[in-house]
Structure 1
């Protein structure tokens, strides 16, 4: 039997919304005694990560280390800054050879990889791992509902909108309610399905079918939240809920909290409107003004994350009418903010990481989706999970004020809070020792251990021949 723990390599697409959940999965795998290496291409849009070779102890058992993909100056040119599609092309061009080199370096260093886990938009990681005889898993970072929509779209597109009927609703996905065209993720809409992102996603999902390339599809969700769609999809793909994947005290946040937590400490319980639109969404100048005026009109304290690259879009004097009630920051530790007792509402772009964090924190939401899966998430949080409302686009001062009031002080506010509290309790139970997500993750770890020991035993036999 090998004395070295199994080594899992996590391969992430280099965007913050992809990096965060995969890192959190890595921390949980390391806490169960595995050696975990996280890798991606370095990219200016990602908050500072640890240096090559740096290690983080996880619950005193395993280790989480960092080792980045390299093209050693021989690969294609660097991607165009601020162009996600060019980043996707660069990663697809440079990734396979860089990952093959990383796998060789790990083996040469005496820590051969026992399993490769990727996330969306790096399907080539599965090809490279498969060629090396290494088992593969994928962490699906969006909801199981969206995964099922993509899966059924690529398998049977007849039930989805077409160029001839772009407004057709979708009622063919088992476990899901009927969705209007504007509630679908972008890559199943005819105007986006054939673009580079859609093609890459199609390649990724090709390996999800049972007995194919991917042995496990780990999903950042929990059984109680999406049970009907999870059960329906399991007959097609090896979906395994392991969420919600949340931040931990040892997460590397690249700095302090810019005074956010101290400011929240001074606010009354449940009084603060928290506003954040993720690492990619850019809100236009008109909507920035509408948000500022709408937040001011609520009369409530608010914490608004406005990234440095968007600060210029905030009109001069737009916050003057707030009477000092608002605080605008470039970044904050979102998980900690949502768990703070002063926060009573989250105005969100409905990225799945944000929705999952809010559900786990028991915070009602105002959804304002922009792209990708966010339209479906807004539908789910309002109509399926019962924790909020959707802000109509484009945002106006009065609509912002009305939606925040509906969630925090309207006739249904107590219902929203009760539903959010129930999801918080169910999420906590899922990830607790012996909970559904914890059991699923434990089963995944045991499978990796079995493969590791079998391979180690085979190596010992071969070495004695």
Structure 2
């Protein structure tokens, strides 16, 4: 039939009526906003995004979580599994197929190789996943991708799906990156000494040695390339920037960055005593061992899922822990186990004073009343979890955002001390004693308790996390 024979008014009424009937007959899942969470398969990226998913689901949204699980990732949710939270559900539908590596591929061991591989192979797999959700009657309303996964933002933008980025580092670090790469502040050059200063709105004065390592990293470093792509997407395509922080912790920085970016604080995104990983025997053993220790007596040592330390550092670390005479819980990944001195293992096995494990649920351990000090690499997840648990820290940063976080923990938040490099047993012993038994220990503990109370307030009804999640959900709805 030609267009001349069509009654356009009747056709419009018929189409509207048909759409209304189809909407009324559609399954419930198709009418509930559906948020797709996408993460690179790195432990420190998966954990906060999964906690965000729990908060979104508890407010009645359908949430699908997707990553590329592999043998080195502590992740207990299989493909196709579901978990109910409050009024909503989290589904797990993993990235697989195409040219993606299989889950048992040993190349998942190197983080930079993983980033490079996902950049090349993940986009068509993610696009197919999004199309599949529509075909199954649960069209994606919004994609939330972690930072350092710019390919996810590109796919969502190309398919016309609104999308947000969960920034997995502090707002301070985001502000530093934003001001540096957009030339909004005068930063010291790469050749300047570590004492050269920089001033950025909303931040205290910082020395060059306190800046994130990627600011002056070589351009060929994959982490830096991915960061630059992320910053570009923040300006061009991302609708919301969700921050794993809370208003009480970084209020001046958040307010100073708001004129530049649509930031919403939705933290602290730490699991507390609720495990969302695979857990297992090691974790149960750790908690049982902690139960037998006096309150605030244990030195907890963990350097994250990526940091590699040398044999000499490990030897000095073991000797320093022994010199304190305090009980210690030491996390040494399997790939670092051979660096640990035999006498340290023997001492831990032969007494109740020390315990060495390959993995534990860190937030759960930090929340335990027996832990009195946390020796940490200062990744942002570890930083937030220490503050939320009220545990004093000894900082030993290595790279990325860790020097900045260490600066804030020691000098801004006042909850710990900095351990000089290289690792030395006497220095480690002195630092631990300073936060656990020295003249300043009472003041450090009091400030730690203050930040724990602030984090608890952020997590409570009407707190900054509650407000941030509500703001984001309202925008999706």
* Mapped partners of 1:389, 1:158: distance in 2: 29
Residue 459 of structure 1: aligned partner = none
Residue 317 of structure 1: aligned partner = 343
Residue 16 of structure 2: aligned partner = none
Q: List per-residue Cα deviations over 1:434-462 (Å, max 9, x = no partner).
A: 1112111111001111xxxxxxxxxxxxx
* Mapped partners of 2:197, 2:462: distance in 1: 37
Q: Secondary structure at the match of 1:425?
A: helix
Residue 460 of structure 1: aligned partner = none
* Mapped partners of 2:456, 2:401: distance in 1: 24
Bigger mean CA offset, 339-348 vs 2-11: 2-11
Change (3 A) 1:328 1:176: same
Residue 72 of structure 1: aligned partner = 98
Residue 252 of structure 1: aligned partner = 277
1:213 corresponds to 2:237: yes
Q: Which of 35, 38, 45 is the aligned partner of 2:72?
A: 45
Residue 363 of structure 2: aligned partner = 335
Q: Contact 2:199 / 2:206 at 8 angstroms: preserved in 1?
A: no
Q: List per-residue Cα deviations over 1:170-219 (Å, max 9, x = no partner).
A: 42311112222221111112x4355221111011011223xx41111110
Q: Contact 1:161 / 1:168 at 8 angstroms: preserved in 2?
A: no
Change (3 A) 1:375 1:74: closer
Q: Which of 216, 235, 252 is the aligned partner of 1:228?
A: 252
Q: Which runs of 4+ in 1 moved over 6 A?
A: 74-79
Q: Which of 277, 283, 287 is the aligned partner of 2:313?
A: 287
Residue 457 of structure 1: aligned partner = none
Q: Contact 1:301 / 1:326 at 8 angstroms: preserved in 2?
A: yes
* Mapped partners of 1:352, 1:34: distance in 2: 27
Structure 2 gap ranges (5+): 1-22
Deviation (angstroms), 1:167: 3.9
Which of structures 1 and 2 has the bigger CA Rg? 2
Q: Secondary structure at the match of 1:57?
A: strand
Q: Secondary structure at the match of 2:64?
A: strand
Q: Contact 1:95 / 1:124 at 8 angstroms: preserved in 2?
A: yes
Q: Contact 1:288 / 1:313 at 8 angstroms: preserved in 2?
A: yes
Residue 334 of structure 2: aligned partner = 308
Q: Which of 13, 34, 39 is the aligned partner of 1:7?
A: 34
Residue 297 of structure 2: aligned partner = 271
**TM-score normalised to the size of structure 2?**
0.89
**TM-score normalised to the size of structure 1?**
0.91
Residue 463 of structure 1: aligned partner = none
Q: Contact 1:171 / 1:177 at 8 angstroms: preserved in 2?
A: no
Q: Secondary structure at the match of 1:70?
A: coil
* Mapped partners of 1:49, 1:330: distance in 2: 17
Structure 1 gap ranges (5+): 450-465
Q: Secondary structure at the match of 2:344?
A: coil
Aligned length: 445
Q: Contact 2:347 / 2:354 at 8 angstroms: preserved in 1?
A: no
Residue 114 of structure 1: aligned partner = 141
Q: Contact 1:274 / 1:345 at 8 angstroms: preserved in 2?
A: yes
* Mapped partners of 2:228, 2:268: distance in 1: 25
Q: Provide the alpha-carbon RMSD of the alignment.
A: 2.0
Q: Contact 1:76 / 1:90 at 8 angstroms: preserved in 2?
A: no
Q: Which of 151, 159, 162 is the aligned partner of 2:178?
A: 151
Q: List per-residue Cα deviations over 1:345-392 (Å, max 9, x = no partner).
A: 000010110110111011110011111100100000000001001111
